[in-house]
Structure 1
Amino acid sequence: MKLVSFNPYRTIGIPGVKYIKPEHMFREIKTIKKADYILFPEYWQVNSLVYGLKKKIFPNINTFHLGHNKVEMTRALLATFPENVPYTRIMGKNRHSIEIIEEEFGYPCVAKEIKNSMGQGVFLIQKKQDLQRYIDNNDTLYIQEKLPIDRDLRVVYVGNKVVSAYWRIGKEGSFHNNVAKGGSYSFENIPLGAVDLVDKAAKTLGINHAGFDVVVVGDRYYILEFNVLFGNEALRHLGISIEKMIYDYILSDFKPNGPDKPTFPGVPTRKKIS
């Protein structure tokens, strides 16, 4: 199996991978055409690879298109799992934006930039001045109800299954729970309902590589968003190698009727993450 990767840091340890810099895509087009699988292209490459060259890519086209920004993923989730999405408004800004948001959400509420991750571009809006500053800096407004939480769940989905789940717990007094923002993580008391929700959502939407952010409010699970390129620090703490799981998955996809595919140690079972 011939593999080409455009992201060496996410494919370290996968055998037989040839790395090509994304900007050299057309210079290396002959090698790309001969590849059986393309790993971690950049978004601007995806349409040319899939629709032009008819190549298999990982993550797949669904994951790239739906994970491109918060608008795409939220609308897809609202169409399929509306009861599991916090109350959200997506709108263009106009002279009535503040009045609409104040009437529907009040303060505090949450505002997000539509293309960001690791806690960047997520703002706690506590007063009109905060809201005006956000509106001044964003053409597309993404406003969400503020939920009463002090932590969230990161549920990691790779290939065709959930491979791990852990709590991300914000520092005392912090609005963000992200590990990149100084939060901690815990693998204790993971609710199976959240794991099952992510499994259903990923399979319904055809996603094969994402870190889902889920919160628990009462007896309800809400999916806040998912990140195509998620952090691996907590997974490394468990000794989990995402690269091995990716190889396992693409090998089974490339040769679905071939000999038994290799398995790798360190992959948690459903029992362990419960």
Structure 2
Amino acid sequence: MKKLPKLGFIYLDYVLRFFDHSNFKGWPNKIEEVVYHWKNDKQRFIKEVKRKKIDILIGNIPATAYDTFVEISKELPHVRFVPSLQSQFSNKSKQNVTLFCKKHKLNIPKTKIFYDTKKANKYLQKKAKYPQIIKRSYGPSNYGGYYVHKVDNYKETKKLLDEKKYIPIYTQDAIKLKDNGDIRVMLIGHKPVCAFWRYAKKDEWITNTSQGGSMSYNNIPMNALELAVQSSKAAKAEYWACDIAICKNTGKAYILECATAFAAFPYIRDWIGQYLMWDFSKGKFKMPHIPIYSWQELGKIDSSLLRTLRHIGFSKYKPSFDGEWYLNDLDIGFDMQEVSKSKDSDFPEPIKIKTLQKNFDKQKKSDDFDLKKLNLNNASLTDIMTLYAMQEELAVEIHDYIQENIITDSTDLLELESVDEQMLKCWDKSLDDMRVDINCVEEHELIKIKGIGKKLAKLIIKHKKKLKGFNSIEELEEIEGIGKNKIKQLKSRFKIGV
């Protein structure tokens, strides 16, 4: 076999990992790992890639690191990035999605992007057709629908923009959605391998499943798949995902979002790994065989089980002689194929505005002034997504955790496998004092606090009633079984008053 390229995974501190070695089952050589540590880590990262003699770096780059990795790629001209930095152009911002779609004449809702707030307000007051969808274009927490807002009139728009201070102001005509849902299509080698409807909750409009939307794998219209394939080919992306709206009135398909970064069950990441091994080995490994609409059958499996399945494969259908003659003459789907090499000219130039940095600085000062620290115990998913370098899957995991537990110190989150001490250091400045007022807490709440069992909870409530309220945390020592070591622990859990 011809010598295989040296592979390496790009990992970044605080960012969930999309791939690991298990997704590249059967690759005979060691796959290196290179971790980017943010801040001033560019030169060290470049030296490590060179030292390890890596030919191909695999992994998505978060929006906040995109520009840095464009610079890194220029200093590593012989290293192939997968996905290419060009195909990750759309990951950086909503604005880039729009620029990309316009360059390649892909259907999108009517979209306006303003860096001048006066011009934006004039358009939104006098010309915009409501309802409008206003989105935050840039930022580390761009996904999950957390910064997407529907406004029905200018009064609502003005209130929203005064509160959020988004720069640029990114606004779209709202598409009247068929069945109150949109469609997520995932592609590998330009072939749709998974597609599903995402339906909004009753009396809601946002369809993201992380915010309560539901899913269905059935009846995906062909024009949605065709538009997704068209955009994947335009991006020259090894793997790709699109969110597509179908207009209720016209049946026309529109791209809402597209990117190489998306949430996917492990078996889909396995398919991507298999496809990439086929690509990297020039066909020595087999290309994955994934029949079109196979997602309808897989979708019948309960999602809690489906998310645990790995390396799913399909046998190939072998028809009779007559059937084979018929099928050879019939175009029944999309073929998985090798992706063309990206060029800078495939992608639009980002908008260059001289006042952009000034606007960001102004917004940052305003945000710093109005900054409210976060108490995770009453935080929404949107709140959690604002934490530094937060990813959607981790935010959902934390949100689920706080439904069953009361957090009194950020270190409580270390019980989650995805959280480490470095993350906590980054988040601590944004987190409020989460200790619980011992005079206001009830017994059923006490047992949700780490280190407090049912027995101790009963004793604390009993002693509180006896004292008619605690005057100091030290009074807990009067409870039988609480010694000096335990009182130290409890001081990090409780306080008196606000």
Q: TM-score, normalised by structure 2?
A: 0.49
Structure 2: distance between partners of 1:244 and 1:79? 32
Q: Which amino acid aligns with 1:97?
A: A
Q: Which amino acid aligns with 1:92?
A: Y
Deviation digits for residues 47-95 of structure 1 (CA, Å, limit 9, x no counterpart): 234221121112212221233111112122122225x111111111332
Following the alignment from structure 1 to structure 2, what is the Cα–Cα distance between the partners of residues 41 and 49? 14
Q: For the residues of structure 1 that align with 2:192 and 2:108, how far apart are their CA atoms?
A: 20
* Alignment length (residue pairs): 263
Question: 2:45 & 2:259 partners in 1: Cα distance?
Answer: 29
Instruction: For structure 1, list consecutive stretches of 5 or more residues without a partner in the other structure.
Output: none
Unaligned runs of 5+ in 2: 25-29, 297-498
Alignment match of 1:4 (pick from 5, 8, 14): 8
Matched, 1:105 2:128: yes
- Residue pairs, 1:202-217, within 5 angstroms: 202-217=232-247
Deviation, 1:203, is 0.4
Structure 2 residue matching 1:101: 3-state secondary structure: helix
Question: Which amino acid counterpart does residue 130 of structure 2 have in structure 1?
Answer: Y
Q: Which residue of 1 aligns with 2:261?
A: 229
Larger radius of gyration: 2
Among candidates 32, 55, 73, match of residue 49 of structure 2: 32
Counterpart of 2:273 in 1: which secondary structure?
helix
Q: Give matches, 1:85-124, under 5 Å.
A: 85-115=108-138, 116-124=142-150
Question: Per chain length, whose mean CA-contact separation is higher, i.e. which structure has more relative contact order (CA < 8 Å, sep 6+)?
Answer: 1
| Whole-Å separation in 1 of the counterparts to 2:208 and 2:151 | 18
Alpha-carbon distance change, 255 to 11 in structure 1, aligned in 2, over 3 angstroms: same
State the partner residue of 1:270: 292
CA distance in structure 2 between the partners assigned to 1:270 and 1:41 by the alignment:
26
Which shows bigger deviation, 157-166 or 192-201? 157-166
**Could you tell me which amino acid in structure 1 is paired with residue 157 of structure 2?**
L
Cross-structure match for 2:268:
242
Letter in 2 for 1:9: R
SS in structure 2 of the partner of residue 10 of structure 1: coil
State the match for 2:95 in structure 1.
71
Quickly say closer, same or farther: Cα 1:77–1:99, change in 2 above 3 A. Answer: same
Render the CA deviation track for 1:131-170: whole Å, top value 9, x for unaligned. 1234331121111111111100001123332221110111
Q: Which amino acid aligns with 1:222?
A: Y
Aligned-pair distance for 1:171?
0.6
How far apart in 2 are the matches of 1:93 and 1:125? 20
Q: Which residue of 2 aligns with 1:180?
A: 210
* TM alignment of 1:148-167, pairs within 5 A: 148-149=176-177, 150-167=180-197
Match among 145, 159, 165 for residue 173 of structure 2 = 145
Aligned CA distance change for structure 1 residues 79 and 30 (closer, same or farther; 3 Å): closer
The SS at the match of 1:85 is coil
Residue of structure 1 in register with 2:316 after alignment = none
Residues 165, 273 of structure 1: 8 Å contact kept: yes
Residue 84 of structure 2 is matched in structure 1 by 60
Alignment CA distance shift 1:76-1:262 (3 Å): same
SS in 2 for 1:4: strand
Deviation at 1:187, TM superposition (A): 0.3
Normalized against structure 1, the TM-score is what?
Answer: 0.86
Q: Aligned AA for 1:180?
A: S
Contact 1:154 1:168 (C-alpha < 8 Å) held by counterparts = yes
Cα separation, partners in 2 of 1:89 and 1:29, compared to 1, 3 Å: closer
Which deviates further from its counterpart, 46-55 or 189-198? 46-55
- Is the 1:215–1:221 Cα contact (8 Å) retained in structure 2? yes
What residue is the counterpart of 1:22 in the other structure? Answer: 36
If each structure's strand is expressed as a fraction of its own residues, which one has the higher value? 1
Q: Which residue of 1 aligns with 2:151?
A: 125
CA RMSD of aligned residues (A): 2.3
Residue type of the partner of 1:6? I
Letter in 2 for 1:249: Y
The separation in 2 between residues aligned to 1:129 and 1:40, in whole angstroms, is: 43
Structure 1 residue 18 displacement after superposition? 2.6
Distance 2:74 2:191 in 1: 26
* Pair 219,107 (structure 1): closer, same or farther in 2 beyond 3 Å: closer
